[in-house]
Amino acid sequence: NAGVTQTPKFRVLKTGQSMTLLCAQDMNHEYMYWYRQDPGMGLRLIHYSVGEGTTAKGEVPDGYNVSRLKKQNFLLGLESAAPSQTSVYFCASSYFNPSMTGEMRGYTFGSGTRLTVV
Amino acid sequence: DQQVKQNSPSLSVQEGRISILNCDYTNSMFDYFLWYKKYPAEGPTFLISISSIKDKNEDGRFTVFLNKSAKHLSLHIVPSQPGDSAVYFCAASDGGSTLGRLYFGRGTQLTVWP
DSSP label of B71: T
pLDDT at B1 over 80: no
| CB < 8 Å & 24+ apart, contacts of B51-54 | B51/A101
Cα separation, B48 vs A103, in Å, equals: 7
Write the DSSP assignment of A21-90 as a string of letters. Answer: EEEEESS--SEEEEEEEETTTEEEEEEEESSTT--EE-SS-TT-EEE-SSTTEEEEEESS--GGG-EEEE
A56-85 residue pLDDT tens? 999 999 999 999 999 999 999 999 999 999
- Banded model confidence at residue A98, pLDDT cuts 50, 70, 90: confident
Nearest-by-Cβ selection for B93 from A42, A105, A109: A105
Look at residue B107 in the predicted model and tell me its pLDDT.
96
A32-50 residue pLDDT tens? 999 999 988 889 999 999 9
Nearest-by-Cβ selection for B34 from A50, A106, A111: A106
State chain B's mean pLDDT as an integer: 94
| Percent residues over pLDDT 70 in chain B | 98
CB-neighbour burial class of residue B105 (10 A; exposed 0-12, middle 13-18, buried 19+) = buried
Q: Do B32 and A90 touch (CB under 8 A)?
A: no
Question: Which of residues A105 and B3 earns the better pLDDT score?
Answer: B3
pLDDT at B97 over 70: no
Look at residue B92 in the predicted model and tell me its pLDDT.
94
- Banded model confidence at residue A31, pLDDT cuts 50, 70, 90: very high
Best residue in A37, A99, A108, A115 for a mutation probing chain B (most B CBs within 10 Å): A37
State chain A's mean pLDDT as an integer: 94
Q: Do A90 and B41 touch (CB under 8 A)?
A: no
Look at residue B100 in the predicted model and tell me its pLDDT.
77
Look at residue A1 in the predicted model and tell me its pLDDT.
61
Best residue in B5, B29, B49 for a mutation probing chain A (most A CBs within 10 Å): B49
Look at residue A104 in the predicted model and tell me its pLDDT.
80
Look at residue B94 in the predicted model and tell me its pLDDT.
82
Q: Do A31 and B105 touch (CB under 8 A)?
A: no
Q: Do A42 and B106 touch (CB under 8 A)?
A: yes
Cα separation, A54 vs A40, in Å, equals: 31
